[in-house]
Amino acid sequence: MSLLDVEHLRVEFPTRHGVLVAVDDVSFSIDEGEVLGVVGESGAGKSITGLAIIGLLERPGRIARGTIRFEAQKINGLPKEAMRRIRGAKIGAIFQDPLTSLNPLYTIGRQLVETITTHNDLTLSQARGRAIDLLNEVGISAADRRIDSYPHEFSGGMRQRVVVALALCANPRLIIADEPTTALDVSIQAQIIALLKRLCRDHRTAIILITHDMGVIAEMADRVAVMYAGRFTEIGPLRDVIKSPKHPYTVGLMNSIPIISHEIEELPHINGSMPRLHEIPPGCAFNPRCSRAVERCRVERPDFMPTGNPGQMASCWVFDKEIGNDGNGR
């Protein structure tokens, strides 16, 4: 049984230009303890997917269709209070900027204790003890003194560790990490990634790792999903997606990552750019930029199809069994 099951999720934003579809018919599942990377350009809809799962879509956004099941229970459309109890305790989230994620007017101890006591029935001193344990676990030294410091007294990397500690207060089974390392220095990034990996292993916490940085995905993820214009274009085990990408967009992405040992004259790139939400072409969203597009691609939108590799799916007509062509001539 999967921990999280997302089926045909569709998130819409009604605007005066019409209804914008930010997430269009996305389906996937995650098992306990698994790290799923969701990679894509800015504006592809990755963050919105994460927000939809945890129920924090900002208005006027709303889930128009689809089901989100957590531990076999449907959680989209739950009443506010029920959803609140799931947040933090079952599903947690961490966001990009650790400085703005922490309330500057309260000590981190106060923020930790508050979160702990919201979900657990502990006395204040018990909660404080647990907070210190958490701080130790995320690698903050002298935790019993630092617990009474304010957020602005920490450096960026330390702050993000505090954020991770806060997210882990009630031991959630799933954490949605939205660009957790983007705002950090490269050297700190590696440390935070290592931290997340260790905690995920120790607590058997599943992570949805949302980022545009392939490098981070390569370090952490078990599986990868590639998102484009609100849709998943490919999903599969990490090695397979990176080493043998199937969807033309993924191919383009992997090709455009320069390899430091190879000499190249010109940086390869994919012509054109991802369409804005109100300009998504009919059929496959990638078709105007795709070198392998056929007439069908411009008309009919492809669903996920098996590609021959176990567990690796791509939404591309090239892999359609009817055509009988999976791109490798088989």
Query: Minimum Å distance from CB 166 to other proteins?
Result: 6
Query: Minimum Å distance from CB 174 to other proteins?
Result: 12
Q: Which is nearer to other proteins, 105 or 259 (CB)?
A: 105
- The 3-state DSSP composition of the chain as helix, strand, coil percent (nearest 5) reads 35, 20, 40
With CB under 8 A as the contact rule, which of the stretches 40-48, 65-73, 157-165, 270-278 interacts with other proteins?
Answer: 157-165
171 binds other proteins (CB under 8 A): no
Q: Which is nearer to other proteins, 181 or 315 (CB)?
A: 181
Q: Are 91 and 173 in contact (CB under 8 A)?
A: yes
153 binds other proteins (CB under 8 A): yes
- For CA atoms 316, 322, 323, 329, the dihedral sign is positive
With CB under 8 A as the contact rule, which of the stretches 20-28, 92-100, 204-212, 243-251 interacts with other proteins?
Answer: 92-100
149 binds other proteins (CB under 8 A): yes
DSSP label of 188: H
SS3 of 56, please? coil
Among 37, 45, 61, 88, binds other proteins (CB under 8 A): 88
Residue 164 identity: V
Q: Are 299 and 283 in contact (CB under 8 A)?
A: yes
Q: Are 45 and 38 in contact (CB under 8 A)?
A: no
Among 134, 135, 140, 227, binds other proteins (CB under 8 A): 140
Is 197 buried (19+), middle (13-18) or exposed (0-12) by CB count in 10 A? Answer: middle
- Per the rule left: phi > 0, alpha: psi between -120 and 50, beta: everything else, 31 is beta
Largest CA distance in the chain: 67
Among 104, 310, 324, 329, binds other proteins (CB under 8 A): 104
40 binds other proteins (CB under 8 A): no
141 binds other proteins (CB under 8 A): yes
Q: What is the CA radius of gyration of the chain?
A: 21
114 binds other proteins (CB under 8 A): yes
Query: Minimum Å distance from CB 243 to other proteins?
Result: 32
131 binds other proteins (CB under 8 A): no
Give the HSE-up count for residue 239: Cα atoms under 13 Å, Cβ half-sphere.
Answer: 2
95 binds other proteins (CB under 8 A): yes
62 binds other proteins (CB under 8 A): no
Residue 147 identity: I
**Residues interacting with other proteins, by CB under 8 A?**
16, 54, 56, 84-89, 92-95, 97, 100-106, 114-115, 118-119, 140-141, 146, 149-150, 152-158, 163, 166-167, 169-170, 184-185, 187-188, 191
